[in-house]
Amino acid sequence: MRGLSVLLLEKRDFGVGATGNSSGMIHGGLRYLLSDATVTRKSCEDSGYIQRIAPHLLFRIPLLVPQPGRGLLARWRLELVEAYLETYDRFVHLKNGMPHTRLTRDEACTLVPGLVPDIAGAVTTDEWGIDPYRLCVANALSAARYGAQVRLGVEVVGFLRDGAAVCGVVVRNGATGGTEEVRARAVVNATGPWLMKMAAVAGVQAEIRPAKGIHIVLDRRIAPCGVVVNAIDGRQIFVLPYDNVSLIGTTDDDYYGDLDDIPILADEVEYLLQGIEHAIPDIRKYRRIRATAGLRPTIHKWGVNEDALSRDHVILDHGHRDGAQGLWTVLGGKLASYRLMSEEATDAVCGALGNKERCRTHEVPLPGGEARYDMADAARRYGWPLWAVERLVSRHGTRAELVLRLGKENPGWRRMLCDCEGVTEAEVRFVVREEWARSLGDVARRTRLGFGPCAGQRCAREAAEIVAEERGLDAWAPGDLVREFEREMRPWRTSVLGGVKGDREVVHS
């Protein structure tokens, strides 16, 4: 958008690391208010900007914070929580949030069926949820619209040098194994948890403290709002309504293992279930369909608990720091501040290149976010069920019109492949043609196909046949695509059945 020639390289697909495995929230940084109010203010402000540029991707998540106990001490703690939220209320207008509300015990139990009645009351606040995969795709589509090249399935394995200066990268094609050189005046290492590995390849210094977090996914919404509780160690955890499912999260532990193969341990699953059980005793009765794991690229600091690490971000100029002119690293941060991080990184690059164009990403809508889409009218015009149109628009915004047109031109493509998430054949073909999808995992990340209660068992084969046809693959390809998808999803599924202990998978029927 500022007139630069840009190439985006992704080793696998958009969002498969920290972003896609986050809690999927553009939140205002409530938990950072005492430790770093600047992070809270930045988060709230940028939440407002993100709502402006991608309104179709965001949805409000009301949150309930119950205070256990009924005595004087419990009531006093409830007063403290309310005072904390009164301070947070000073920032919520920046993110179009609602001010907090105090509820009695009966009001809270009416709002959340199954909530333990032994509480002094509760307070409410709200945050915004988002589909992080769709957010990544929308940003890539926007970049491509302005002329950027986007390449998936290629890994940076080396850096080109002109003396000490960085003047490009060496990339390896994941499909062919071949390598090539790409020259550039500026290289930005925006690899999240992998940034130390990339910095080492470049011979420069960049340090984070990777923190592992997991989520458990339930097969339905169990309440109309989220519930925030304290786990056994005093950390706050939650259960959230998220699209058609519920999320339980999250853990926060230092991680020293393989960045590309993060195990989900039985103890971690139990930690979350035990914590939520103290507020919603029947939580184990709901079906767990999968779990996810990701790493926060938090700024390194020695001698503090993981939960106390800053969620702020830093843009490292390795020319100043290490003498490697032309190389920058985006370090730290979180999903809610993604746009601000990007702006600051681009400001640094443009300053070095003499580009004086101002940032406009807080003003210009992402593809699909240009206007409100009349879903009822579209359902009438195209003959689709309204609920399916609503799900489609929640993913594509105004670009849903392109999918609906495909269905009109090819009536057979209107058939529903995934009833759980309202995914049609037309949408699968669309993301292959227009959004770089190559595998069933790619399709799932763009459409949520297989992310619902059926876990892809009813739709994966049919979707694989469509992907193979669109890509011109041979007759054996659908089976290969399904097996690849099952291998990708299997760790998520076995983890909630029993998790991993030591070197063994523990599966409970």
pTM, full prediction? 0.94
Contact 279, 66 (CB under 8 A): yes
Assign 303 a pLDDT band (cuts: 50, 70, 90): confident
> How many whole angstroms separate alpha carbon 357 and alpha carbon 336?
24
Query: So what's the pLDDT on residue 497?
Result: 63
Q: Read out DSSP for 288-327? A: EEEEEEEEEEEEP-SSS-GGGS---EEEEEHHHHHS-TTE
> How many whole angstroms separate alpha carbon 413 and alpha carbon 428?
9
> How many whole angstroms separate alpha carbon 266 and alpha carbon 103?
35
Predicted confidence (pLDDT) at residue 264 exceeds the cutoff of 80:
yes
Q: For a pLDDT cut of 70, what percent of the chain falls above it?
A: 97
> How many whole angstroms separate alpha carbon 19 and alpha carbon 30?
19
> How many whole angstroms separate alpha carbon 188 and alpha carbon 327?
6
Give the residue with greater pLDDT, 30 vs 117: 117
Average pLDDT rounded to a whole number, residues 378-386: 95
Taking only Cα atoms into account, the Rg of the chain, rounded to an integer number of angstroms, comes to 23
Predicted confidence (pLDDT) at residue 503 exceeds the cutoff of 60:
no
> How many whole angstroms separate alpha carbon 355 and alpha carbon 6?
14
Mean pLDDT of the chain, nearest integer: 92
- Among 214-218, 387-391, 397-401, 485-489, which stretch is predicted with the lowest mean pLDDT? 485-489
Predicted confidence (pLDDT) at residue 502 exceeds the cutoff of 50:
no
pLDDT tens digits for 392-405?
999 999 999 999 99
Domain locations in the chain? 1-23+131-207+300-369, 25-128, 210-296, 375-497
Predicted confidence (pLDDT) at residue 500 exceeds the cutoff of 80:
no
Contact 191, 19 (CB under 8 A): no
Query: So what's the pLDDT on residue 304?
Result: 80
CATH 1.10.8 is right for the domain spanning 375-497 = yes
Query: So what's the pLDDT on residue 504?
Result: 42
pLDDT tens digits for 195-230?
999 999 999 999 999 999 999 999 999 999 999 999
Q: What is the DSSP letter of 265?
A: B
pLDDT tens digits for 28-76?
878 778 777 887 888 899 999 999 999 999 999 999 999 999 889 999 9
End-to-end CA distance of the chain: 53
Cis peptide upstream of residue 250 (ω within 30 degrees of 0): yes
Q: What is the DSSP letter of 330?
A: E
- Per CATH, which fold does 210-296 belong to? D-Amino Acid Oxidase; Chain A, domain 2 (3.30.9)
Query: So what's the pLDDT on residue 489?
Result: 86
> Which CATH number fits the domain 1-23+131-207+300-369, given the four candidates 3.40.50.1860, 3.50.50.60, 3.40.640.10, 3.40.50.12780?
3.50.50.60
Residues of the chain by 3-state class (helix, strand, coil), percent to 5: 40, 25, 35
